[in-house]
Amino acid sequence: MVTAILISLAVVFVAELGDKSQLITMTYALRHRWWVVLSGVAIAATLVHGLSVAIGHFLGLTLPERPIAFAGAIAFLLFAIWTWREGRADDGADEVRVAEPRFVIFAIVSSFVLAELGDKTMLATVTLASDHNWLGVWIGATVGMVLADGVAIAAGVLLHKRLPEGFLHRLASVLFLVFGLWLLFDGALGLRWVALAVTGSVVVLVGTVALIRFARRPDSAPAAASTAPSSCDSP
């Protein structure tokens, strides 16, 4: 059992590095408290790898990847709209509203489960469970995912401290949009090149708009500074 735990932990941890799950985790950590995100990740990892172990060790079944990917795409697109509207609402509010932890955890768990079903991490867990102790694989895979996504949470917390709240909302919304479009075109429709073109175009467009807005921002500061003395000098 110890061997199964260590092997599963190492395999899943390495498989998660740079995976979309880490990006999703960091996206949530940009906007919510770290312990809420970590709790959601832990619950989702337990569910996903529990299902993986059941499939690999007990059932030997396969999951319908395209319907699951389509459901995940719809979920991420809805999260993108929700996050963008939250950011717009917070721009006009005196105080930033904090979402209820239970709602955030539900969003994290649902998005993680949909994103991980049929993913390479889940397939690795299914394979390990067919040859090793199922309980050890379940424990090791769950801990490995939580550790890997914990790194992403730390990165999100650092960015949250250094970047404005409104910018973080917009960044999270764009990331959810990219995740949703990728799952829709690549996972659900099987159009990898279209997914690359669409998501790449979104990233380039958003980056261009951000650069233009950033380039225009310094021009307004000198203008405001130059008008201030004139009002003071007037009799």
Alpha-carbon distance of 220 to 128, in angstroms, equals 59
Q: Is residue 177 within 8 Å of residue 73, measured between CB atoms?
A: no
Burial of 70 (0-12, 13-18, 19+ CB in 10 A): middle
> In this model, does residue 174 exceed pLDDT 50?
yes
Q: Percentage of residues in the chain with pLDDT exceeding 70?
A: 80
> Among 8-22, 116-130, 171-185, which stretch is predicted with the lowest mean pLDDT?
116-130
Residue 21 C-alpha from the chain's centroid: 6
Alpha-carbon distance of 84 to 56, in angstroms, equals 39
Contacts of 147 (CB under 8 A, 6+ apart): 9, 13
Please identify which residue in the block is written with the tokens 């690549």: 186
What would the mean pLDDT of 198-204 be, rounded to a whole number?
A: 91
Structural tokens at position 48: 């996903």
Contacts of 95 (CB under 8 A, 6+ apart): none
Q: Is the whole-model pTM more than 0.85?
A: no
> In this model, does residue 235 exceed pLDDT 80?
no
Alpha-carbon distance of 135 to 138, in angstroms, equals 5
> In this model, does residue 179 exceed pLDDT 70?
yes
pLDDT tens, position by position, 211-230: 887 777 655 444 444 444 54
**What element of type H or E holds 10?**
helix 2-16
Report the greatest alpha carbon distance in the chain: 88
What would the mean pLDDT of 192-203 be, rounded to a whole number?
A: 91
The predicted structure's pLDDT at residue 91:
52
Q: Is residue 40 within 8 Å of residue 105, measured between CB atoms?
A: yes
Structural tokens at position 155: 């990165």
Q: Is residue 187 within 8 Å of residue 115, measured between CB atoms?
A: no
The predicted structure's pLDDT at residue 163:
72
